[in-house]
Structure 1
Amino acid sequence: MNVTIDKNSGYCFGVEFAIQMAEDELASQPTLYCLGDIVHNRMEVERLHQQGLRIIDRDQLQTLHDCKVLIRAHGEPPETYALALRNNLELIDASCPVVLKLQNRVKHAFDSTTRQNGQVVIYGQPGHAEVTGLNGQTGNQSIIVMSEADLDQIDFARPVTLFSQTTKSTAGFYHMKALIEQRIAAAGGSLESFDANDSICRQVSNREPALRKFAVDYDVVLFVSGRKSSNGKALFSVVNQTNPRSYFIENEQELDEAWLQGAATVGICGATSTPMWLMQRVADRVNEVAESLPA
């Protein structure tokens, strides 16, 4: 059985940068706090926990004083920085540059469109850390949409400025854009008052066509990702549409041997939050199983 790991899968720059910052800090101190999972991958979180990284939530952050806290790649709203000043917290800011740029764009758009009685709409997952940070740039007054039903929150007689969470599906964003255009037309409004911004990270969007090419070359594809990863869900959908013999797994222990029956080639790929060492573990497990399968 031929087993291949997709060389283009694995960490994006932002995640890699955040993990490197965490490891650099932990090299000189026993414990470092991180606000939320540093990456949406349970296996990597557990690995870094063994090195001293302690995940905290927003309630726990309120109680901390005089220590270091890592801000992960997803970014944070302004109130997190204000709290850090009050509690004398040293922030190790690993916010992704792409996310920081988008935060600035959202804030500028909100300040501008508010003067025109407009609305900022964010295509993203409610409660996701990045979306929370983006919403914070608007004083939590943006409209978060994920489905067509969510569009009912928008007043289509007023100007609309649309952005996207950086890790969402490109196809999903343009589908939402088209739906908004239809609603504006139905309300008798003008499309000139609609400003749609494709703010999806190119490292993410470029992986979609690359994964389609990868998935079609193998009998079976194993997509490795944490189940909480928004990016993982979006990219697996692309893979599964291309190759129906695709399976979403979090680690090598979830591999079902029956999936490999009759397969001569197996491709292994993952999300922007999937470490390469974890995909290698899955490959090693596939090779072990292959040796026990009948020729």
Structure 2
Amino acid sequence: MKVDVEQGSGFCFGVENAVMIAEKALREGETVYCLGEIVHNDLEVARLTALGMVTITHEEFEKLRDSKVLIRAHGEPPSTYLKAAENNITIIDATCPIVHSMQEKIKKVADLAREEKGQIVIFGKEGHAEVIGLMGAAGSRGILVTGKGDLDRIDYTRPVFLFSQTTKSKVQYEVVAEIIRLNLEKQSKDHPGNTLKVHNTICRQVSGREPKLREFAQQHDVIIFVSGKKSSNGRMLFEVCLKENPRSHFISSPGELNRD
């Protein structure tokens, strides 16, 4: 039996960077709290926990004082930083640079949207840490859509500024953008200012892996896809494999391998 490992396998740049920042902070000897799991991978979380990292919930964060807290790659809304300042918490910011850049862009667009009475629409997974941060940056102008079924949340008589969670499928994002464009066109005669601005915010590392994974899945008899069960990125990429190869299997640890 021949086993090939897909060349792009492993954590994305943002997560790798966050892990390195966490390891550096832990080497300094003080207790480091991580706000939420640093990565949706139980084995990696266990490894860092063994080194001394303490994972906390947002409820626990609210009660924390005079401590060091690491912000993971997913990022956090502005309210988290305000709470940290109130409670004398030192933030170790490991937000992915791509996510951070999008947060800043959304804040600027929010000012423009306010002037034009527009809406900031974010395509993403409800409850996902990155999306919570993006919605926080958008403020009262933010509207979350998780798919085609949510697009009635948008007012098509007003301008739309569209963003996507960085790990969503590029194909799905394009479908959502096209439906929004068509709906705006239907209202454009009576509302000529109802324009659409689509921001290309899907991570290129993620979108670039899709075609390579399709080819890899087609070239092999069986695909064993290893990822944390809670990883949105992992689930999305697994679906890419499954679509090309029905003999694709999702596991999170060696114990889940089945010889059959």
The TM-score bracket by the shorter chain reads over 0.9
Residues 174, 70 of structure 1: alpha-carbon distance in 2 compared, 3 angstrom cutoff:
same
One-letter code aligned to 2:33: Y
Residues 145, 33 of structure 1: alpha-carbon distance in 2 compared, 3 angstrom cutoff:
same
Identify which of structures 1 and 2 has the higher relative contact order when contacts are C-alpha pairs closer than 8 Å and 6+ apart.
Answer: 1
User: Are the counterparts in 2 of residues 103 and 134 from structure 1 also a CA contact under 8 Å?
Assistant: yes
Q: TM-score, normalised by structure 2?
A: 0.95
Distance across 2 between alignment mates of 1:185 and 1:226? 41
Q: 2:223 aligns with which of 221, 228, 232?
A: 221
Residues 175, 190 of structure 1: alpha-carbon distance in 2 compared, 3 angstrom cutoff:
farther
Q: How far 1:11 moved relative to its partner?
A: 1.3
Secondary structure at the counterpart of residue 166 of structure 2: coil
Gaps of 5+ in 2: none
One-letter code aligned to 1:168: K
**Alignment match, 2:200:** 198
One-letter code aligned to 1:217: Q
**Alignment match, 1:147:** 147
**Alignment match, 2:254:** 252
Distance across 2 between alignment mates of 1:233 and 1:186? 35
Q: How does 1:234-253 map to 2 (within 5 A)?
A: 234-253=236-255
User: Are the counterparts in 2 of residues 185 and 191 from structure 1 also a CA contact under 8 Å?
Assistant: no
One-letter code aligned to 1:204: V
User: Are the counterparts in 2 of residues 184 and 190 from structure 1 also a CA contact under 8 Å?
Assistant: no
Distance across 1 between alignment mates of 2:74 and 2:96? 7
Off by >6 Å, runs of 4+ in structure 1: none
**Alignment match, 1:28:** 28
**Alignment match, 1:9:** 9
User: Are the counterparts in 1 of residues 32 and 68 from structure 2 also a CA contact under 8 Å?
Assistant: yes
One-letter code aligned to 1:143: I
Q: Does 1:177 align with 2:169?
A: no
Q: How does 1:41-56 map to 2 (within 5 A)?
A: 41-56=41-56
Q: How far 1:184 moved relative to its partner?
A: 1.7
Distance across 1 between alignment mates of 2:247 and 2:256? 15
Identity %: 48
Distance across 1 between alignment mates of 2:63 and 2:194? 48
One-letter code aligned to 1:193: T
Deviation per CA, 1:75-129, whole angstroms, max 9, x where unpaired? Answer: 1111111111111111111011100110111111111011111100000011111
**Alignment match, 1:231:** 233
Residues 119, 30 of structure 1: alpha-carbon distance in 2 compared, 3 angstrom cutoff:
same
Distance across 2 between alignment mates of 1:17 and 1:109? 27
Q: How far 1:28 moved relative to its partner?
A: 2.4
Residues 56, 179 of structure 1: alpha-carbon distance in 2 compared, 3 angstrom cutoff:
same
Secondary structure at the counterpart of residue 181 of structure 2: helix
Q: TM-score, normalised by structure 1?
A: 0.84
User: Are the counterparts in 2 of residues 181 and 191 from structure 1 also a CA contact under 8 Å?
Assistant: no
User: Are the counterparts in 2 of residues 184 and 191 from structure 1 also a CA contact under 8 Å?
Assistant: no
